[in-house]
Chain A
């Protein structure tokens, strides 16, 4: 298998309050069949063997679905390949001799914990403000009693595919969470099951978004560009509509 050699400039920071800086490593030979994270594994094994602390980074499924991984690679969240999480990016997309700069997702609402690891719990807090349907276990009607037109179900799923990785926030100059919130609002507003609470949900989530320090949407569309799941900014338009509708027409 073909191998390449790279120069890696990686953000190192010992803790939330520590001073951080870039550290440079020579990668040694890297097989082009490796994933990006496997390349970091190889580096880390070497660091451990020489008694150094390995680079901390988040990951779990390594299949592009859990949303745990993510760093800014050469200025782009999750790296250069479109609609691809960092764990699914493979080294065949790089050339021998390339320099790769790796930094954490940065945003006011995401505290840095160590090296490339950040705290995204603000996303969970947003969901607590109504990102669900209020139905108790066991109280559900027969699943087929409310038909859902297939195209609507598909559109809802397009939005529900969001993996909550935070790339949209990292890509946005204002560190806005509008794409994340818009995706959840859309997913539920498009389905009859989510309909009843749509006003409350829109008002609650938008308010919380502001409180948590996420910025506003500046229509740059960088979030859509960065999203590994291809979530469309039409969801932001829908969020705005839902919010307007809730502000003017609901009793909430």
Chain B
């Protein structure tokens, strides 16, 4: 298979312009002849649905929650980056030279229009006293260029997109399918032509046909069971598309966020992120002495190790996420971790409060402090927070070209579900930007090229391919319900998650990955023989929903591990212990790994097929990252 990334020729700053100029257009009057399915109503799906509706296409939008205002994007706290007047090469460096240069550049180019768009929708971004937009610095960016709405930027951006979407619902251009889960992609004559879904309230299995299918179904961080993702986040939609021929890119690239509330018990269902904007004013430290059990306020200044400030004088507490996370793990591995479990480091606001006053700090972080106190029962103004890294974002995803089309014609993938812009690492505050760039600006400008040029066979859901997919979905549900074993879906999920965290988490090595590769099929085997799902398939059955998603995680996890094993270098978030510098920093191997690893489904029980998309850097030359 030849993967053509379709990156336009010409200078970097003219590529996007050229792409739009060269795209074949659909005459405005003809747009109403095209039906487009959008799966997902997070930032990417909602913005895409709204914009496609505005343009005149007939859009159907599917999502798991009861309302499009609730997609996982709503939880983003920190902010959204825009490149207003800033050079953007730190974004390319941020991806540790494993992202496509042209995509990253485009993201920065479009970002200003995104801020304009959101403001026009009534998104109440923070303002300076003169009335202009305020911004702050965030997550690995050394300049202040992050726009924000208190600690709930994602909520406000999503509500903006939701408003735009509901406006199209009113006009009839978009039809919503709440509480509906996509179970399969339907490919006919090599084109993506529809999906099969399950209505989560009635259990009905249904088919939907269209001229193009857009997946905006978010990331797969929940493969680790514990993550900062919302409970319903899953890999199902992208995984089923993979099994229908769409290639998966860089599945092992997972971002571990350094500032989360530490794990406190086995019943724990998810991890809560504390926005890393906190690192602007909080200082990270551990006791100098391993095993020091004193409460933090009793540890004197000269017995504290502000390890990030010491090791990285120029970035200090603001080093990129992967560096901050690995260093926290390192300190805890040395026995210097805080709290009951020893798996935590301190994030201390005492100095900031002395410097700026409690009022100023409360104004900036009050709601985060409040949330922390609710969960832990401790007040960060009185004693330092405890934090630990947690799985947060997945850079890998379905492979797409510059148009955001996968290798299956007519199948587009947006937002966290694709792999496109973040390389081996993601800078803080650029996922929101990517979701909105994909949905508001990129897809609406590129999808017309396919619609205008493809040869569309006349078909509806009567086509045999839909029957087949429906039958397969029904059979699988019946299978899940009939095993009648002894373990709950969550029990399997926890086991898988722990395995992935231990062997395919913050640090990876050949022995551990190989071990995971034998364990995963064993867990999967047991799952299909010893699972218990009560209830039936004819009504709301949340255990059944979860079982289906976990079954997919159990297959997908194997691909992640295969990918992690194959990439023998360290880069960004992917830290192979075998590949580190003398100072224990990630050691890239540009000669052998300056590529996107792209995996194609090889068939049931067969190995996936490897493809390589080589990365070319015309403008920024790869260099080893240094945050010293």
Q: Do A and B come from one complex?
A: yes
Partner of B150, one of A149, A157, A164: A157
Among the 9-residue stretches B390-398, B406-414, B508-516, B535-543, the one with 4 or more Cβ atoms under 8 Å from chain A is B535-543
Query: A109-141 toward B: CB 8 Å interface, digit per residue (1/0)?
Result: 000011001011101100111011111111111
Closest residue of chain B to A163 (Cβ to Cβ) is: B155
A201 smallest CB distance to B (angstroms)? 11
A176 within 8 A of B: no
Cα A44 to Cα B293 in complex, Å, equals 37
Contacts of A139 in B (CB 8 A): 120
A31 within 8 A of B: yes
Cα A133 to Cα B50 in complex, Å, equals 13
Query: How large, as a class, is the contact surface on chain B?
Result: 35 or more
Q: A1-B264, A194-B122 are in contact. List 6 more A-B contacts (CB 8 A).
A: A63-B75, A65-B155, A128-B167, A128-B170, A150-B128, A193-B119
Known contacts A66-B70, A68-B66; decide if A141 and B116 are in contact (CB<8 Å): yes
Among the 9-residue stretches A46-54, A98-106, A218-226, the one with 4 or more Cβ atoms under 8 Å from chain B is A46-54
A60 pairs with B230, CB closer than 8 A: yes
Known contacts A33-B265, A38-B267; decide if A90 and B124 are in contact (CB<8 Å): no
* 8 pairs, A vs B, C-beta closer than 8 Å: A1-B265, A41-B490, A66-B75, A129-B170, A143-B118, A146-B119, A154-B124, A160-B159
Known contacts A58-B66, A138-B113; decide if A144 and B132 are in contact (CB<8 Å): yes
Cα A191 to Cα B123 in complex, Å, equals 9
A88 pairs with B371, CB closer than 8 A: yes
Contacts of A61 in B (CB 8 A): 70, 72, 74-75, 230-231
B440 within 8 A of A: yes
Contacts of A54 in B (CB 8 A): 534, 542-543
Contacts of B232 in A (CB 8 A): 60
B269 pairs with A135, CB closer than 8 A: no
Contacts of B535 in A (CB 8 A): 53
Query: A29-50 toward B: CB 8 Å interface, digit per residue (1/0)?
Result: 0010111011001101101110
B534 pairs with A114, CB closer than 8 A: no
> Of A60, A88, A121, which is in contact with the most chain B CB atoms at under 10 Å from its CB?
A60
A84 within 8 A of B: yes
Cα A126 to Cα B119 in complex, Å, equals 22
A132 pairs with B166, CB closer than 8 A: yes
Contacts of B75 in A (CB 8 A): 61, 63, 65-66
For the complex of A and B, 10 pairs with smallest distance between CB atoms: A147-B131, A132-B163, A140-B120, A143-B119, A140-B116, A157-B124, A156-B124, A150-B127, A66-B70, A137-B51
A244 within 8 A of B: no
Contacts of B134 in A (CB 8 A): 150
B36 smallest CB distance to A (angstroms)? 15
Known contacts A127-B163, A137-B54; decide if A121 and B66 are in contact (CB<8 Å): yes
Cα A114 to Cα B538 in complex, Å, equals 13
Contacts of A78 in B (CB 8 A): none
Query: B508-536 toward A: CB 8 Å interface, digit per residue (1/0)?
Result: 00000000000000000000000011110
A51 pairs with B534, CB closer than 8 A: yes
A31 pairs with B267, CB closer than 8 A: yes
B277 within 8 A of A: no
Cα A35 to Cα B271 in complex, Å, equals 12
Query: B164-202 toward A: CB 8 Å interface, digit per residue (1/0)?
Result: 101101100000101000000000000000000000010
Query: B108-131 toward A: CB 8 Å interface, digit per residue (1/0)?
Result: 000001011111111011111111
B571 smallest CB distance to A (angstroms)? 31
B444 within 8 A of A: yes
Closest residue of chain B to A115 (Cβ to Cβ) is: B540
Partner of A38, one of B122, B167, B269: B269
Query: B429-472 toward A: CB 8 Å interface, digit per residue (1/0)?
Result: 00000000000110010000000000000000000000000000
Closest residue of chain A to B232 (Cβ to Cβ) is: A60
Cα A87 to Cα B288 in complex, Å, equals 37
A202 smallest CB distance to B (angstroms)? 15
Known contacts A128-B170, A132-B167, A150-B131; decide if A120 and B155 are in contact (CB<8 Å): no
Partner of A15, one of B125, B130, B375, B539: B539
Contacts of A90 in B (CB 8 A): 374-375, 377
B579 within 8 A of A: no
> Of A14, A51, A138, which is in contact with the most chain B CB atoms at under 10 Å from its CB?
A138
B65 pairs with A141, CB closer than 8 A: no
A249 smallest CB distance to B (angstroms)? 22
B250 smallest CB distance to A (angstroms)? 26
B267 pairs with A133, CB closer than 8 A: no
A149 pairs with B127, CB closer than 8 A: yes
Contacts of B125 in A (CB 8 A): 143, 153
Cα A118 to Cα B159 in complex, Å, equals 21
Task: State which residues 208-240 of B face A: CB under 8 Å.
Answer: 230-232
Contacts of B150 in A (CB 8 A): 157
Cα A99 to Cα B121 in complex, Å, equals 46
B156 within 8 A of A: yes
Known contacts A38-B267, A113-B201, A191-B124; decide if A120 and B66 are in contact (CB<8 Å): yes
B163 pairs with A138, CB closer than 8 A: no
Number of interface residues of A (CB under 8 A): 79
A114 pairs with B540, CB closer than 8 A: yes
A206 within 8 A of B: no
Contacts of B121 in A (CB 8 A): 132-133, 135, 140, 193
B264 pairs with A33, CB closer than 8 A: yes
Cα A215 to Cα B117 in complex, Å, equals 35
A150 pairs with B167, CB closer than 8 A: no
Cα A229 to Cα B374 in complex, Å, equals 14
Cα A1 to Cα B263 in complex, Å, equals 13
A41 pairs with B70, CB closer than 8 A: no
A137 pairs with B116, CB closer than 8 A: no
A148 within 8 A of B: yes
B481 smallest CB distance to A (angstroms)? 12
Closest residue of chain B to A164 (Cβ to Cβ) is: B69
Partner of B231, one of A60, A92, A143, A146: A60
Closest residue of chain A to B68 (Cβ to Cβ) is: A124
Known contacts A45-B490, A52-B534, A53-B534; decide if A137 and B166 are in contact (CB<8 Å): no
Cα A237 to Cα B100 in complex, Å, equals 52
Closest residue of chain B to A152 (Cβ to Cβ) is: B127
A164 pairs with B116, CB closer than 8 A: no
Known contacts A61-B75, A128-B169, A132-B166; decide if A42 and B54 are in contact (CB<8 Å): no
A59 within 8 A of B: yes
B169 smallest CB distance to A (angstroms)? 5
A60 pairs with B65, CB closer than 8 A: yes
B626 within 8 A of A: no
A234 smallest CB distance to B (angstroms)? 16
A120 pairs with B67, CB closer than 8 A: yes
A65 pairs with B542, CB closer than 8 A: no
Contacts of B580 in A (CB 8 A): none
B149 within 8 A of A: yes
B270 smallest CB distance to A (angstroms)? 5
B354 within 8 A of A: no
A48 pairs with B532, CB closer than 8 A: yes
> Of A53, A92, A124, A194, which is in contact with the most chain B CB atoms at under 10 Å from its CB?
A124
Closest residue of chain A to B51 (Cβ to Cβ) is: A137
B320 smallest CB distance to A (angstroms)? 24
Contacts of A41 in B (CB 8 A): 267, 269, 490
Contacts of B81 in A (CB 8 A): none
Contacts of A8 in B (CB 8 A): none
Partner of A137, one of B65, B269, B444: B444
A68 pairs with B54, CB closer than 8 A: no
Cα A1 to Cα B267 in complex, Å, equals 12
Partner of B124, one of A67, A141, A143, A153: A153
A62 within 8 A of B: yes
Task: State which residues 61-80 of B face A: CB under 8 Å.
Answer: 65-70, 72, 74-75
B255 within 8 A of A: no
